[in-house]
Amino acid sequence: MLRIAIQKSGRLNEESVQLLKECGIKFAGADRKLFAQAENFPIEILYLRDDDIPGYVEDQVADLGIIGENVFAETNKSADVIEKLGFSKCRLSIAVPKAFEYKHISDLNLKSIATSYPNILGDFLLKNNVKADIHEISGSVEIAPGIGLTDAICDLVSSGSTLLSNGLKEAEIIFKSEAILIGSKKLNDEKKKILQDLLFRIRAVRKGKEHKYILLNAPNEAIEKIISILPGMKSPTILPLAETGWSSVHSVVKENEFWQVIQDLRQAGAQGILVVPIEKMIL
Ligand code: PRT
Ligand code: ZN
């Protein structure tokens, strides 16, 4: 039996739950209790505050955890990073009031910076030979300059709209983060085996999301050109259509190359292009 800790509520909760469900694991949500036993996979789910998860994994109360890299780096607990999960992407940035003429990191010398990330910020300042006063606060960091508490802040940014609405501008990105799967350094063989099964499923789900299944019709003389455009897993599937001289081509395309590929395919004579999401992909 493996025990995984995920965030009880907040930005990571929904996608953590969704990922496990897409892996085919059935379990009850956090609204009912703090602990859920999966019905069809040897895993238990613990719902916790995200900041507590690295400590629980270090202490082997949980075997695995899903958290932001920012929290893992800040709490500095002993655990392995097993897999990046690709969601909850954000950055930890130093931001200053708009009127602050910021040109270089050294402009932060002898300034005060409010943050909930004193460790990551402290390391960054040390590395860059900046002597600034770190003012640790646990929330509403973005209002600190406006109320005269500090000269600058260091906080998580995703769209940047919180900075904008508080009259701040991003000065330095000091850490990039996304959700990660962490694991205890002391898993026994039975737990390692379950982890491998879970990882196999997670990777299949994530690969599926990164790709689209594509079906199209084309005149036979265009097929060679079309095959050269399609990257595919191996070579594409080609099936004859009822109409003579035409074929149907099936293949898999990467999400991030998708629009360019579609454009090239149309130019090469492809018609009736269908694009279908892939639920899971196993190579
Ligand atoms: O209760 P618990 O302690 O479990 O949750 P929490 O309140 O500490 O964390 P939560 O749920 O807010 O965030 C969990 C994780 O989501 C963080 O540790 C990050 O890894 C990740 N994440 C991704 C973010 C953001 N994006 C984000 N934008 N966490 C916080 N923010 C906040 C940021 O602090 C700022 O206030 O959103 C605001 C900025 O957003 P923009 O879009 O205006 O730039
Ligand atoms: Zn938290």
Burial (CB < 10 A; 0-12, 13-18, 19+), residue 207, is middle
pLDDT value of residue 233: 64
Residues 105 and 172 in one domain: yes
Residues 112 and 169 in one domain: yes
Query: Looking at ligand 1, which residue's alpha carbon is closest to its atom 33?
Result: 156
Q: Which residues pair with 255 in a beta bridge?
A: none
Question: To test the ligand 1 pocket, which listed residue (9, 157, 163, 176) has its Cβ within 8 A of the most ligand atoms?
Answer: 157
Residues 71 and 187 in one domain: yes
Is 158 a domain residue? Answer: yes
Residues 204 and 69 in one domain: yes
Residues 6+ apart with CB under 8 A from 165: none
Q: What is the CATH number of the domain that holds 61?
A: 3.40.190.10
pLDDT value of residue 31: 74
pLDDT value of residue 30: 72
- Tally of domains within the chain: 3
Ligand 1, residue 165: give the atom nearest the CA.
43
**160: Cβ below 6 Å to ligand 1?**
yes
Expressed as residue numbers, the domain containing 139 is 90-177
pLDDT value of residue 141: 98
Is 142 a domain residue? Answer: yes
Ligand 1, residue 177: give the atom nearest the CA.
20
pLDDT value of residue 231: 75
| 45 in Cβ contact with 2 (< 8 Å) | no
> Of 188, 208, 228, which residue is a domain's last?
208
Radius of gyration of the chain (CA): 24
pLDDT value of residue 232: 66
Q: Longest Cα pair distance anywhere in the chain, in angstroms? A: 78
Pair type for strands 2-7 and 64-68: parallel
Is 198 a domain residue? Answer: yes
Residues 72 and 183 in one domain: yes
The rounded Å distance from CA 142 to ligand 1 centre is 12
Q: How many CB atoms lie within 10 A of CB 234?
A: 8
Is 56 a domain residue? Answer: yes
Residues 152 and 256 in one domain: no
**51: Cβ below 6 Å to ligand 1?**
yes
Closest ligand (CA of 7) = 1
pLDDT value of residue 13: 96
Residues 72 and 135 in one domain: no
Low-confidence residues of the chain: pLDDT under 50: none
Ligand 1, residue 8: give the atom nearest the CA.
4
- Using one digit for the tens of pLDDT, what is the confidence trace for 25-56? 999 887 767 899 999 999 999 999 999 999 99
Is 60 a domain residue? Answer: yes
pLDDT value of residue 283: 82
Residues 113 and 250 in one domain: no
pLDDT value of residue 28: 86
Is 283 a domain residue? Answer: no
Ligand 1, residue 7: give the atom nearest the CA.
4
Residues 28 and 17 in one domain: yes
The residue to which tokens 């009127």 are assigned:
99
The rounded Å distance from CA 67 to ligand 1 centre is 11
Closest ligand (CA of 176) = 1
The rounded Å distance from CA 112 to ligand 1 centre is 22
